[in-house]
Amino acid sequence: MVLDILLLPFRSLPSIWGLLFISLLTGIGMISIFRLTSNQEKISRLRKKMLGEIFGILLHVSSPATVMKFAGRLIWSNTLYLLYIIKPLLVIAIPFMLIWGQLDARYGTDIVDQNTSVTVTVEYEDSLPERDNITLIGNGIEIIQPLVMVDTLRQVSFRIILEDGTIGSLDVNGTSSTVGKTGTWNGALILRGFDTENSLKRLFCPWVDKGVVSGDGPISGWYSLKTVRYEVLGGHWSWLAVFLVFSSISAIAGAKIFDVKV
């Protein structure tokens, strides 16, 4: 919801702009949280110590024994550094994972093309029903036979085509799920599968639809969607690369501007 509001001004623009905006904003946000939750004094002191140890290596480069001593001290200081960032790490982890999931769901895969088929794989809990007992009902979806059944994995695969290219629903032996763009009021999330279990995991994986089960239908399923690549600085970047690089740039800038010791 929050992301939808933040991304509202970018709706009419190519999706990369929204991703860039969120990346820059996330960097600033994370660095602010880091500042608030970490012991800045200790980190600053340790950083200087580590730099001192590096200069120690440079100063005594002609003495391998001294270099090794400083290298050992550097590794120890690095361990301390990791200890110092555990607290901010834990605090940041949850919002970071939430954002990660949201961005992956929005920018990770392409929407289902009107003319391209998508492979759907569903999994049953105990054993596969007989081929004739598998019923497939699509709403706004064209189901393409044949069914491929893998008994050992309790999986059934088939292909579908989304008729209007945005949303449809699929019913397999009474288990129904949504296919396409949904999840929020403006339909920005692209679903990649469904799971009938009630789990908090879905909070971090918003691309998984909550499948409604009735009868002996499958308990989960996933759709093979196309990964999106973005044209940035002459290269083809995944959303993750864009996010990591640009959020880092904004975090570095934020750290510089707000004098955050990291």
Nearer to other proteins, 117 or 157 (CB): 157
When binding is defined by CB under 8 A, the residue of 27, 168, 183, 206 that contacts other proteins is: 27
Burial class from Cβ neighbours inside 10 Å (0-12, 13-18, 19+) for residue 104 reads buried
Stretch 230-259 residues interacting with other proteins (CB under 8 A): 237-238, 240-241, 243-245, 247-249, 251-252, 255-256, 259
Closest to other proteins by CB, 7 or 242? 242
Residues within window 165-194 making contact with other proteins, judged by CB under 8 A: 192-193
- Choosing from 5, 6, 75, 257, the residue that interacts with other proteins (CB under 8 A) is 75
- Specify the stretch interacting with other proteins by CB under 8 A; choose among 19-27, 135-143, 162-170, 177-185: 19-27
Rounded CA separation 59/76 (Å):
20
Among 9, 14, 48, 110, binds other proteins (CB under 8 A): 48
> CB of 235 within 8 A of CB of 11?
no
Q: Confirm if 191 and 221 have CB atoms less than 8 A apart.
A: no
Residues in CB range of 197: below 8 A, 6 or more apart: 219, 220
Total number of residues that touch other proteins (CB under 8 A):
72
CB 122 within 8 A of CB 169: no
**The one segment of 11-19, 127-135, 177-185, 218-226 that binds other proteins by CB under 8 A:** 218-226
Of residues 53 and 171, the one with the C-beta less far from other proteins: 53
**Peptide bond before residue 95 is cis, with ω within 30 degrees of 0:** no
Of the ranges 10-18, 45-53, 138-146, 179-187, which one interacts with other proteins (CB under 8 A)? 45-53
Q: With respect to other proteins, which residue has the nearer C-beta, 56 or 129?
A: 56
Q: What is the DSSP string of 200-222?
A: THHHH-TTEEEPBP-SS--SEEE
55 binds other proteins (CB under 8 A): yes
| Structure token digits, residue 160 | 């579908």
Q: Which of residues 140-169 bind other proteins (CB under 8 A)?
A: none
Rounded Cα gap, residues 31 and 2, in angstroms: 19
SS3 state at 20:
helix
Taking CB under 8 A as the criterion, the residue among 18, 26, 162, 167 binding other proteins is 26
Binding to other proteins (CB under 8 A) within 99-138 occurs at 123
Query: Do residues 209 and 225 make contact, with C-beta atoms less than 8 angstroms apart?
Result: no
